[in-house]
């Protein structure tokens, strides 16, 4: 079974530029998550989709971050304009059923963003 795919793996941009990350979850997984992992910290949930609807975006900086999951499959996370503090690894994860106790999330390899 193919895992969660993400691209690009690395991206370097200047502040105030825009950037987009792509994620393709495991086939059949209805739930998709985007996390931000700043160096030395644990991942922090930015947004969660159930199919193509948003379940939780309470920690998404909506003035500069946006995400969509058209057709309930792959997803794109965008930052516009980027700030220095956005430098982090952006992780995508998916799961079969978000409402089950102890449900496992499967993570992609991440995209390392450096903002200069």
Partner 1 sequence: GNSVTQMEGPVTLSEEAFLTINCTYTATGYPSLFWYVQYPGEGLQLLLKATKADDKGSNKGFEATYRKETTSFHLEKGSVQVSDSAVYFCALSSGGSNYKLTFGKGTLLTVNP
Binding site for partner 1 (CB under 8 A): 3-4, 33, 40-45, 48, 50, 55-56, 91, 93, 98-110
Which lies closer to partner 1 via its Cβ, residue 28 or residue 100?
A: 100
Which lies closer to partner 1 via its Cβ, residue 76 or residue 106?
A: 106
Report, in Å, the least distance between residue 90 CB and partner 1.
Answer: 12
- Say how far apart CA 28 and CA 57 lie, in whole Å: 22
Report, in Å, the least distance between residue 16 CB and partner 1.
Answer: 29
Which lies closer to partner 1 via its Cβ, residue 79 or residue 98?
A: 98
Report, in Å, the least distance between residue 17 CB and partner 1.
Answer: 26
In Å, how far are 100, 103, 104, 107, 112 from 78, measured between CA atoms?
A: 29, 27, 26, 19, 14
Of residues 90, 97, 80, 94, the one with CA closest to residue 114: 90
């Amino acid at each position: 079974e193919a895992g969660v795919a993400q691209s690009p793996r690395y991206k370097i941009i200047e502040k105030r530029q825009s950037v987009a990350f792509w994620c393709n979850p495991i086939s059949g997984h209805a739930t998709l998550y985007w996390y931000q992992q700043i160096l030395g910290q644990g991942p922090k949930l930015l947004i969660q989709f159930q199919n193509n609807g948003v379940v939780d975006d309470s920690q998404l900086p909506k003035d500069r971050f946006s995400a969509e999951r058209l057709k309930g499959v792959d997803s794109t996370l965008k930052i516009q304009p980027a700030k220095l503090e956005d430098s982090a690894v952006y992780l995508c994860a998916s799961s079969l059923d978000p409402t089950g106790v102890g449900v496992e999330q499967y993570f992609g390899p991440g995209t390392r963003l450096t903002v200069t």
